[in-house]
Structure 1
Amino acid sequence: MTIRHLLLLIIIFLSLPLTTNAQETSLVSWNIRDFGKTKSAEEIENIAEILRDYDIIAIQEVVAGYGGSQAVARLADELNRKGSKWDYSISYATKSPKYKTEKYAFLWKTSKVKVIEKGALITELETCVYREPYRMRFEANGNFYTILNYHSRKYSEHPEIEVNCINDYIISHQDENIILAGDFNLAIDHPVFNTIKEYNFEACLNGNKTTLKQSCNDHSYLNHAIDNIIYDALKNELIDCGTIDFVQECEQLEAMRMLSDHLPVYMKFH
């Protein structure tokens, strides 16, 4: 084989597409406020348009009573109209104090994601958290992920108590590739997160504000940095991460708050 032929083979090899293991997977986490029967068809369509390009969707604050599960089904139906086939899973209502009960939901593209383990609330955390996380195991691009979908108690109710218990749960399940996604009602620099950081977990966002103010102040409508995705940096390579700002300008704030008072957080990884 001549050097010229060898160089040609190298060029052809380098031009081949990456293997499926190197293909990215995308996850988006969103606290959609009061996600239930009050969401209009137009709002559901707008939510679907925001989420359509991701592979796995984790939703918090699905209404536990009538209309919550139906809203998830309506969203899945709308996503199915946008070019990809979607499936979904809805949790049972959390065992929470009065007026704090909610459901969670996962939605995923069936062409890219397979379910390895059905979704279930983590019952062993019932006594420690107001809303026990919803866990589900997926396979995407040959990799396995256990995603915990979580909505903490309010900041004034000391969510660090809950996060500390979830830390212990994650550490005791290190054989799994756990990704923790949701609304923590805490900034990622709170000391309670130091524990899992010592186990090579990293936060997708670092100080990015994710909640919406009720009105614009000095052309700013973003408030607290409390939504995030936390992942094992030894088991996942982060490609991209950020928030999806569906507001864009102050004039749209009032209308966009009808969708939610939180921005979605996304992560692309393999």
Structure 2
Amino acid sequence: MIRRLVLVVLIFFHFLAFSQSDEISLVSWNIQDFGRTKNTGELNEIAEIVRDVDILAIQEVVAGYGGAQAVAKLTDLLNRKGAKWDYVISDPTNSPKYVTERYAIVWKTKNIKIKNRGWLISELDSLVDREPFLLDLYVEGKKFTLVNFHSRPYNKDPESEIIAISNFVIDSLETPMIIAGDFNVEEKMPVFDYLKDNGYKAAVSNAKTTLKRQCDSNDYLNYPIDNIFYSQDIYKTEGKVIDFVRFCEELKRARKLSDHLPVLLKFRINWKAH
């Protein structure tokens, strides 16, 4: 009887360990003006917010001096919190003047591996202001693809960019796919129908992610425009917005980190589909 009980316990912990290691967590975050404007204390606050996830996709990294350095410093701070992290940073986007930026992806190296440093999707250069950044990631040798994107503002036709990216992803890429970023368009809008018709789902729905400059009737949130879309071979276990503000009294301090909240997706991949 005791031997049987021990066996049951061992099997339980085996499957528990498997389920925990099999789950991947990703945060997508437009970190406003991510560069020299962020001091060490603010970078450490950002690191504390994301320390428990596996992958961080950052939009709005400064293209000039200070952007790459801020990503490196954030990674160094994360490395001091109990896990080993690495990062890649894109080339500056080929964009109109004052629109150029970089993307960054930071990840824990224990379970996530890479075989290249990623690239800006040049095929979309003429169709979008800031071409997306694509990185292939590997878990136990199996590949999935992350596309990191920051669209043009809501009043400058981000819809046409979303259509172009949707067409490219669906027509050109066959691995399990995640599209993370600041879309400047709400998830419920028809422009996302092509993705949804092809099996894509959103991490969050109608979840506000941008911060007002000041509280209005105890409300500091504006628009639900940041999200993570994932292909049908990916199973969501959790999706939410990480609200690091919480109280109106903290809004001014919080906005020193960013005017956007991060979006979290926890997921598993159905590798048998490939």
Q: TM-score range by the shorter chain?
A: over 0.9
Cα shift at 1:175: 1.6
**CA deviation map 1:98-135 (0-9, x unaligned):** 11000000001111210133210000000000000000
Give 2:14's aligned residue: 17
Residues in 2 aligned to 1:116 and 1:218: alpha-carbon distance in whole angstroms: 50
Partner SS, residue 114 of structure 1:
coil
Q: 1:182 to 1:213 in 2, by over 3 A?
A: same
1:160-171 map, 5 Å: 160-171=159-170
Residues in 2 aligned to 1:119 and 1:203: alpha-carbon distance in whole angstroms: 23
Give 1:266's aligned residue: 264
- Equivalent pairs: percent with the same residue? 48
- Give the alignment's TM-score, normalised by structure 1: 0.93
More displaced stretch, 111-120 vs 37-46: 111-120
Residues in 1 aligned to 2:196 and 2:260: alpha-carbon distance in whole angstroms: 25
Between Structure 1 and Structure 2, how many residues are aligned?
Answer: 266
Give 1:95's aligned residue: 94
Residues in 1 aligned to 2:18 and 2:5: alpha-carbon distance in whole angstroms: 24
Q: 1:199 to 1:43 in 2, by over 3 A?
A: same
**CA deviation map 1:159-213 (0-9, x unaligned):** 0000000011111134211100000000011111000111110011100000000
More displaced stretch, 132-141 vs 31-40: 132-141
Residues in 1 aligned to 2:76 and 2:7: alpha-carbon distance in whole angstroms: 46
Q: Does the aligned pair in 2 maintain the 1:25–1:140 contact within 8 Å? A: no
Q: Does the aligned pair in 2 maintain the 1:247–1:253 contact within 8 Å? A: yes
1:50-61 map, 5 Å: 50-61=49-60
Q: 1:141 to 1:53 in 2, by over 3 A?
A: farther
Give 1:244's aligned residue: 242
Give 1:223's aligned residue: 222
Give 2:271's aligned residue: none
For structure 1, which runs of at least 5 residues remain unmatched after alignment?
Answer: none
Q: Does the aligned pair in 2 maintain the 1:26–1:269 contact within 8 Å? A: yes
Residues in 2 aligned to 1:253 and 1:9: alpha-carbon distance in whole angstroms: 52
Q: Which letter maps to 2:222?
A: N
Residues in 2 aligned to 1:225 and 1:126: alpha-carbon distance in whole angstroms: 26
- Give the alignment's TM-score, normalised by structure 2: 0.92
Residues in 2 aligned to 1:5 and 1:160: alpha-carbon distance in whole angstroms: 63
Give 2:272's aligned residue: none
- RMSD of aligned C-alpha atoms? 1.8
